[in-house]
Structure 1
Amino acid sequence: METIEQLTWQESPFGEHYLKEVNKSAFQRQLSKQLFAKHFAKAFDNDETLYVIVGTDSGLLLKYVQQYYDELKNSRFVFIDFDNVLTEIKEQFDAKKYERINVFKESFDLALLGQLYSSYLVTGKIELFRSIAVLDAKRDEPYAQLWHHYQESFQQFLVVEKNALDSRPFIDAMLLNASHNLEPLINHSDALQGGTALILGGGPSLDEALPWIKQVREKLVIFSAGRIARRLLAEGISPDFFVSVDPYDISFDNSKGMFHFVEDSILLNGNHISPKILAQWSGASSYMSTKYPWHEKDGKMEKNIAAPGPNVINTAVNAAVELGCSQIIFSGVDLCFPLGKAYESSSDEAKVGGRFTFKGVSTVKDNRGELAETQPAYANARQGLELQVKIYLQEYPHLNFINTGLYSAAMENVEYVAPEKIEQKIDLVSKKQQVASLKQSLEMSLSERTQRVESSVKELQSQLKRFKSIVSLSKDGLKFVKTLYKNGQQDDKSVKKSMKAHSKISQIIGDDGDMLFRYDSVAFKENFRPMDEQNMEQEDIESQLTSFFKGVNRSAEMFSKQLELAIHYAKLTEDELKNRDFDALSERWQKYDAIGRVFNFVKWHPEALQVHAEKIEALQQNFYDELSNTQTRLVESLEKKSRDLPSLISRIEQAKEQHNRQTLVELLEHLQSLQEDAAVKSLIFYVQGLLADIDGNAEEAIAVLKQAEDNIIKEKALLKCLSICMQARNHQCSLQTLEALCSVSLNYMIPYADFLKTIGQLPSAIQILEIYVQAQSQDFDAWAKLIQFTHEVDPQRAKQIAEQVIEYDPENEMIKAYL
């Protein structure tokens, strides 16, 4: 990232000092506070908010927000700027006096927001703003780069924090999986010592690597993401392991091709894999991470091989390393959009929208050293994977990491090697015997499995009793809080009872408080407020205690209900193992949408085929029919995402800013493939106009842009049209476009008036401003402009207007200066 090398102080006509290289001429035309008031109108209206602002505007923006300091007592401001700029302005800012305003240099890691300002993450009240310096910066200038970096980092930060705060789907899945997560992977550490692991992802580079994979398949230990199972089936490749971690049922649609490999492949699953996958998997399996979300009685968590995220690939790599593989090869692990593609060619995603199913877009460097598009979740996974590799190499320096994709995202310590050259680089030694031994060691006798399931049921029942007691205590606490104060006086009895309930709950929850909070963070958010505890008043104390008891009550109650459901699931497994009432079991399988459980039942009780052959065959056939169904919720979800107009508009705007012709062409092709309506049609015109402009066809661009009729898109198209007209110095075209923009919003009357004055039509400019101020009488900047323009033709009239306006805005420095 570039920085500003030289800094020069300059004084504005209004006596303000600013850095010329930072703010250029922004403060030459009006006072900083007037410019800020317009740009940040209503931005700081909300208390209890963390405001993150990129740029300090030579320190003037720091001064501006100080006026909100006392009003926003429970808010914080975070400014990020270049180190040398901060050095220049440090004398202007009293950090001790304004301790809730914090300033950081450009190397600040946004991930630290979670540690420094955690209370705002609870409520989700975090805003990111641009300074005037950022707004005025051209694409390749330092402040534009600084904004681009923090905008992407902010998106990634929010994704990570949202996932961390929204743990319920993951915990729910853990509980439902209790009777199937029976064998921890840690019991089989180093089982594949010295092996070469091939980690297969669903990226587009997989297409090119498949011929090589078929040639050397017997020398590799293959770890595959479940999403590419159908492709592997079509290619005749059986992986040794499938790795799956997602808790959502939709991942069953994404991964159901795995069920064609139950006889050949081992399922390595995260503890919160979708129960719909795990409960119906009848092959060998082993779980990673902790079986339960709570601490054990000794206060520790279960020891097991971790399942790090955020991506299934992160989990697969850790499994390969912990199983003893010394060479890790990635194929189809692109974590970006190589050559504009996001998925291997046969996937549902590639057929329905491809990379345009993603909302946010950022960039990373690929193995050529070139910039490539990616999306925030991929960027997080790449970052996490790079860190994993670094940590592995510190502990196991002999490990070797390779990626076969030239266009895949580059990672430190991961070398690009073309597939055909890998055997020149490393020795490939077969580990088929070790994989077979591992698979055999995962087999479990019926009695041992039954014993482990019964133990799971007991643990779930014990926890249900625990959390129901928390529900009861939190209800008592809420009653006591209501009587904390009587007639404005503290009631000591109620205080004592409240604190006793609080203490008991804390004691029972123990180390699982964070788990309970993340299980239903919304319950705590509803009444929680970030505030200064030293200055809490009666109302604040009641609010915070209410927040605690209400949050605990709702979260513990919902958790208890999920425990009850998990007990039903576990007892179903117990009944399957004990061969109880086949018809009743069949009914429950269908109730839970898990008829594939019949395969486990038959595996455990082969004799049942003689008694219930017809019913079993019907259930199995229904399951096979489900596996072959292509009209899934996944496809429906992808189609919906591919038509998401706000997301598509955002992608178009980003491509426009970057002058990325190729992306615009691909966006146009995607839009033309969608069912056409007014909005889509307008977007097509908009993109066609942008492409014509890039190609230097100004007249064609203007003609096409003016055809966009949808309101939101029309404004963007007209603004681009205006830019083209202005660059061509086509006054007539500019005037027509500005007139059209005024029909979209009255705010465009100001630049319309400016332009009329520029081309010598001052009386018309004054007339436009008079119309505008009649409609927007509180816009004192517009009044000031009207006075300025009028003064050039009629100073007396200008003075009359100024005297009229100063009555309503006595602090207006520009008008006071004029008078």
Structure 2
Amino acid sequence: MSHQEPSLPLAITTNQFGEQYLPSINKNVFTSHGSKHAFQKQFKNELWETGTFHIIVGTDSGLLIKYIIEHGIPEDSRFLFIEPNSLIDTIKTLVPDLEQYSNQLILCTPDEWEEKTVDLDIDPYILDNTLRLTKSIAAFDPTLEEYERLNIEINNKLESTVYAIKITDTSARFISHQLKLISENYNPFYLLNGKFKNKTCIILGGGPSLDNHLPWIRDNKENLVIIAVSRIAKEILNAGIIPHMVFSVDPDIVSFDLAKKLFTLPEKVLFVYSNHANAELISQWHGKCAYLGPRYPWESKNEKENIMPHGPTVTNTALMAAVNIGFKRVLLAGVDLCYSKNGVTHTKGSEEADAGPFLSNEGQWVETYEGEKAFTDMQFVYATKLLKGQAEYAKENGTELINLSETAVKIKNIAHIKPENIEFEAVEDSIWDIIDKHIPSYCPTTNKSDNLTVIREIEKHINIIGEIESLAKDALKENQQLFKKNKDNEFNKKTNIKLAKIHKKLSEKYPSETALLQSYGSIFFREFIKPAVTEDWKEKELELSRNLYYNAIIESITEFRKLLKKTLKRTQSRVAEEKSPVDLSHSIKQWQEDGQPGRSKLWITRHQEEYKNLDEDTKKQLQDMVEDFEKILVTENMEWRNECKKSTSLDGVRAKLDKMMLQKNKEGLINMREALSQLKNQNEQAVSLQHLCSGYILAIEGKSQASLDELEKVLEEETQEQALKVMLTLSIDLLEKDKAETALERLSEKSQMFTPHYAEFLKLQNKYEKSIFTYTEYLKDYPDDIPVWFSLGKLYHEINEIELASMVFDHIIEHDPSNEAAQSYVEKIRQSTIS
């Protein structure tokens, strides 16, 4: 059964304020108060932020562009408007003077917008968190299906772009965490390179399918090198599985909260982490460890060869690490990269699973190994994209990848084999022996020596950035003199030569250090790298540009020096942990500052004889910190739990279901209905949305009566335009005239674009008086809608109200002298009068 949309004519009308717009797009929004009032109400002040990049779907018949131009484009802001191909020429006609604003305001089609964001230099705005994706009023509750599609498509692509740019931005956050871990980064993971050739490992992710595979993993653990992501420590421990390796990459504190059960694992477990992982997790770890990536954020002869981390997710990182150290075969379990059919994103026992299904998230539908469709969010979409490339790399390196889960996203070069069909070769060496042999345990003497090397590195770099700072200050002084002309009106050539020498020294003697400062202090450089509004720079602008650049270097050095001094102090405290005679005052203070009471427990374990000889006050300090640490490990993370609960909100679910109906996504609707039925709180709204799902599913299946019965059970506030249009079509198919009339009446109340259809339907039901009233009320708001005037004239003529019909047709000819249909009726009326 097809669901025909009412046609949307591109008639242009003028409201009482003299504003031209498209009623088929903007309905009756601008009828009573005009566009300025509507925009102020909709957007308030959010369009007037300085230094902001706005991507706006739709232009509200061009009036939103005019509104922004009239107000004035805020300083350093950009506006990119996107209109469907079917509207673009009409909008350009309505806003003829667009070209003069092309450096700051652009109108483009869906095929052009990504290229235009590059032209307008979007990256600095993304990194500054000043990118805004906004819907015009028309796109917010779209009449045009193209807007609905655009909203989804642009949001998906933009989320992926933002995610990609942000995770590759080696800015202050990651460098700061890298330096915070510098003392713990002493065993490079490269020590295991080539030590697992011809062996099979299994990577355990946190996806919902993991639960199905835990019994098989437990039964086959002697044949596997078990690699787990840190967040599932609780789940695998409850299943009786001890992993050989645990991986972590996330620097955020939530990764510590989710992985607390790690601290109950035995010391022999190898903790592998990226060089910028969470310090609270790594610095309090009690067992063997190895890091990924470079130890120092700058080039150093003390840098050890290592394997790089490959994100964005910990699973991506673990997979590439496994391939790079030589595993012959990598199995995946719980690496779903999509939601389960009931909307769950993570394995049982996780905060996400306990919170319930995630229903309103934006994302995409993907194919699983079992041939069905599954929903996934943007983080998973990006991880999947990179995993495809990693799978190709694994194939080239001779590593076979197998996903055990049939409900995981299907990815090229990753096969799916059921666990019971996996065959193993005999394992000759003990996995624990390999790890123990090649990854050194903590050694006080070695650790102290290593930290002394780190201290020398830090002190050396503090001196280097001091030299760069002096050069930048010299450059600022010279820059102020450069454009001061002499008596012959010539520029200061000597100053220009000095500036060139400074630039050359920075680029040749300190290239990596300068690049590091630009990366660490990217927030200071963004003003320098943002595009200028004018292309023809003058002397003052060139001077300002250099000032911005060298000031940014100085500001970056100021902040980076603070970080290096903190790092130096922390590293000195690590050396103090191994001093004899024992003096822990410096170390205890550092542990408290870093929020790492667990280091007291580590020190006691590693220095049992020294602990016995401590004074009672120091012993008490250490024991108090041990108790604090133990309390932290058993305290529930309510903040993360509440965040998970927010993700299970029903806000936005109705709109998501409407989109699925537009796309005829029956499988997705079935999954959403199942997810809604799993909600712990089966309130009125949840039940109503399940009826909406069922109604849409039955409509797609062609079961008109059953579909209509379900849709009539939906709450009025959840019965929006899409549902009403489906109900209208179903009612007509079933010859339920009264229900069809009710659906059209409700559609007309929501949008006047449906009013002419409603009036026509009333006429067909011989409800002439009501039809005439409906037409005339509509024409009060849209007096230029000639086709509707014609329909009204025909109605008068059909019911023999000849005088009124004549008045209507005369009105049409007055406004449209070439209207042959109206002229034909006028002639008919004239002939009938004569006869």
Answer yes or no: same fold by TM over 0.5: yes
1:449 equivalent among 447, 454, 457 = 447
1:750 touches 1:769 (CA, 8 Å); kept in 2? no
Partner of 1:567: 568
Q: How far apart, CA to CA, are the structure 1 residues paired with 2:290 and 2:810?
A: 88
1:306 equivalent among 305, 308, 317 = 308
TM-score with structure 2 setting the length: 0.74
Amino acid at match of 2:345: A
2:180 touches 2:567 (CA, 8 Å); kept in 1? yes
Q: How far apart, CA to CA, are the structure 2 residues paired with 1:596 and 1:505?
A: 43
Amino acid at match of 2:101: E
2:83 touches 2:110 (CA, 8 Å); kept in 1? yes
Amino acid at match of 1:416: H
Displacement of 1:26 in angstroms is 6.2
Q: How far apart, CA to CA, are the structure 2 residues paired with 1:490 and 1:751?
A: 72
Q: How far apart, CA to CA, are the structure 1 residues paired with 2:83 and 2:175?
A: 37
The CA RMSD over aligned residues, in Å, is: 4.4
1:332 touches 1:405 (CA, 8 Å); kept in 2? yes
1:652 touches 1:667 (CA, 8 Å); kept in 2? no
Displacement of 1:175 in angstroms is 0.9
- Counterparts in 2 of 1:174 and 1:649: CA distance versus 1, 3 Å: farther
Partner of 2:459: 461
Displacement of 1:672 in angstroms is 5.9
1:219 touches 1:430 (CA, 8 Å); kept in 2? no
Q: How far apart, CA to CA, are the structure 1 residues paired with 2:490 and 2:690?
A: 66
| Alpha-carbon displacement from aligned partner over 1:322-349 (angstroms, at most 9, x marks no partner) | 2221111111111112333321112122
Displacement of 1:637 in angstroms is 3.0
Does residue 163 (structure 1) correspond to residue 164 (structure 2)? The answer is no
Partner of 2:549: 548
Displacement of 1:705 in angstroms is 2.8
Q: Secondary structure at the match of 1:338?
A: coil
| Alpha-carbon displacement from aligned partner over 1:7-29 (angstroms, at most 9, x marks no partner) | xxxxxxxxxxxxxxxx9976775
Q: Which residues of 2 match residues 97-176 of structure 1 at below 5 A?
A: 119-124=121-126, 152-165=156-169, 167-176=171-180
Displacement of 1:150 in angstroms is 6.4
Partner of 1:240: 244
1:53 touches 1:77 (CA, 8 Å); kept in 2? yes
1:363 touches 1:374 (CA, 8 Å); kept in 2? yes
TM-score with structure 1 setting the length: 0.75
Displacement of 1:220 in angstroms is 1.0
Amino acid at match of 2:176: D
1:203 equivalent among 203, 207, 210 = 207
Amino acid at match of 1:705: L
| Alpha-carbon displacement from aligned partner over 1:32-70 (angstroms, at most 9, x marks no partner) | 996786455536956864858586449848977996334
Does residue 249 (structure 1) correspond to residue 248 (structure 2)? The answer is no
Q: Secondary structure at the match of 2:259?
A: helix
Unaligned runs of 5+ in 2: 14-19, 26-57, 699-705, 733-738, 764-769, 794-804, 818-835
1:42 equivalent among 64, 69, 73 = 64
- Counterparts in 2 of 1:494 and 1:352: CA distance versus 1, 3 Å: farther
| Alpha-carbon displacement from aligned partner over 1:509-534 (angstroms, at most 9, x marks no partner) | 52355544443544444564324885
1:291 equivalent among 280, 292, 295 = 295
Displacement of 1:233 in angstroms is 1.6
Amino acid at match of 2:578: L
Displacement of 1:452 in angstroms is 1.1
Amino acid at match of 2:672: L
Displacement of 1:276 in angstroms is 0.7
Displacement of 1:416 in angstroms is 0.9
Q: Secondary structure at the match of 1:156?
A: helix
| Alpha-carbon displacement from aligned partner over 1:102-130 (angstroms, at most 9, x marks no partner) | 69xxxxxx7x999x658321223586999
Q: How far apart, CA to CA, are the structure 1 residues paired with 2:740 and 2:395?
A: 64
Q: How far apart, CA to CA, are the structure 2 residues paired with 1:614 and 1:415?
A: 56
Q: Percent identity among equivalent residues?
A: 21
Q: How far apart, CA to CA, are the structure 2 residues paired with 1:386 and 1:78?
A: 32
Does residue 626 (structure 1) correspond to residue 632 (structure 2)? The answer is yes
Partner of 1:231: 235
Partner of 1:189: 193
Does residue 535 (structure 1) correspond to residue 536 (structure 2)? The answer is yes
Q: How far apart, CA to CA, are the structure 1 residues paired with 2:370 and 2:363?
A: 20
Partner of 1:84: none
Amino acid at match of 2:246: F
Q: Secondary structure at the match of 2:227?
A: strand
Does residue 382 (structure 1) correspond to residue 384 (structure 2)? The answer is yes
1:173 touches 1:273 (CA, 8 Å); kept in 2? yes
Amino acid at match of 1:752: T
| Alpha-carbon displacement from aligned partner over 1:198-253 (angstroms, at most 9, x marks no partner) | 11111122111111111111121111100111112212211111111111111101
1:470 touches 1:508 (CA, 8 Å); kept in 2? no
1:50 touches 1:126 (CA, 8 Å); kept in 2? no
Bigger drift between 146-155 and 371-380 goes to: 146-155
Displacement of 1:749 in angstroms is 3.6
| Alpha-carbon displacement from aligned partner over 1:644-681 (angstroms, at most 9, x marks no partner) | 835x566445445434333432453466639x8xxxx6
Q: Which residues of 2 match residues 769-788 of structure 1 at below 5 A?
A: 769=778, 772=781
Q: How far apart, CA to CA, are the structure 2 residues paired with 1:245 and 1:439?
A: 25
Corresponding residue pairs, total = 714
Partner of 2:731: 728
Pick the structure with greater CA Rg: 2
1:52 touches 1:77 (CA, 8 Å); kept in 2? yes
- Counterparts in 2 of 1:601 and 1:403: CA distance versus 1, 3 Å: same
Displacement of 1:568 in angstroms is 2.4
Q: How far apart, CA to CA, are the structure 2 residues paired with 1:494 and 1:770?
A: 76
Q: Secondary structure at the match of 2:379?
A: helix
- Counterparts in 2 of 1:434 and 1:230: CA distance versus 1, 3 Å: closer
Amino acid at match of 2:520: Y
Q: How far apart, CA to CA, are the structure 2 residues paired with 1:617 and 1:725?
A: 72
1:704 equivalent among 714, 738, 761 = 714
Q: Secondary structure at the match of 1:69?
A: helix
Q: Secondary structure at the match of 1:349?
A: helix
2:808 equivalent among 775, 791, 794 = 794
Bigger drift between 33-42 and 239-248 goes to: 33-42
2:338 touches 2:380 (CA, 8 Å); kept in 1? yes
1:250 touches 1:633 (CA, 8 Å); kept in 2? no
Amino acid at match of 2:574: T
Q: Which residues of 2 match residues 56-67 of structure 1 at below 5 A?
A: 56-57=85-86, 60=89
Q: Secondary structure at the match of 2:326?
A: coil
Q: Secondary structure at the match of 1:172?
A: helix
1:252 touches 1:276 (CA, 8 Å); kept in 2? yes
Q: How far apart, CA to CA, are the structure 2 residues paired with 1:520 and 1:386?
A: 33
1:480 touches 1:494 (CA, 8 Å); kept in 2? no
Amino acid at match of 1:71: Y
Q: How far apart, CA to CA, are the structure 2 residues paired with 1:66 and 1:429?
A: 75
| Alpha-carbon displacement from aligned partner over 1:695-749 (angstroms, at most 9, x marks no partner) | 535356346332x3xxxxx6x73663355246525454145424653xxxxxx34
Displacement of 1:438 in angstroms is 4.0
Displacement of 1:558 in angstroms is 3.0
Does residue 636 (structure 1) correspond to residue 631 (structure 2)? The answer is no
1:432 equivalent among 413, 430, 445 = 430
Bigger drift between 155-164 and 763-772 goes to: 763-772
- Counterparts in 2 of 1:473 and 1:801: CA distance versus 1, 3 Å: farther
2:326 equivalent among 317, 324, 347 = 324
2:355 touches 2:641 (CA, 8 Å); kept in 1? yes
Bigger drift between 634-643 and 503-512 goes to: 503-512
Does residue 69 (structure 1) correspond to residue 69 (structure 2)? The answer is no
Unaligned runs of 5+ in 1: 1-22, 82-101, 104-109, 709-713, 742-747, 774-780, 804-819
Q: How far apart, CA to CA, are the structure 2 residues paired with 1:771 and 1:506?
A: 71
Bigger drift between 145-154 and 571-580 goes to: 145-154
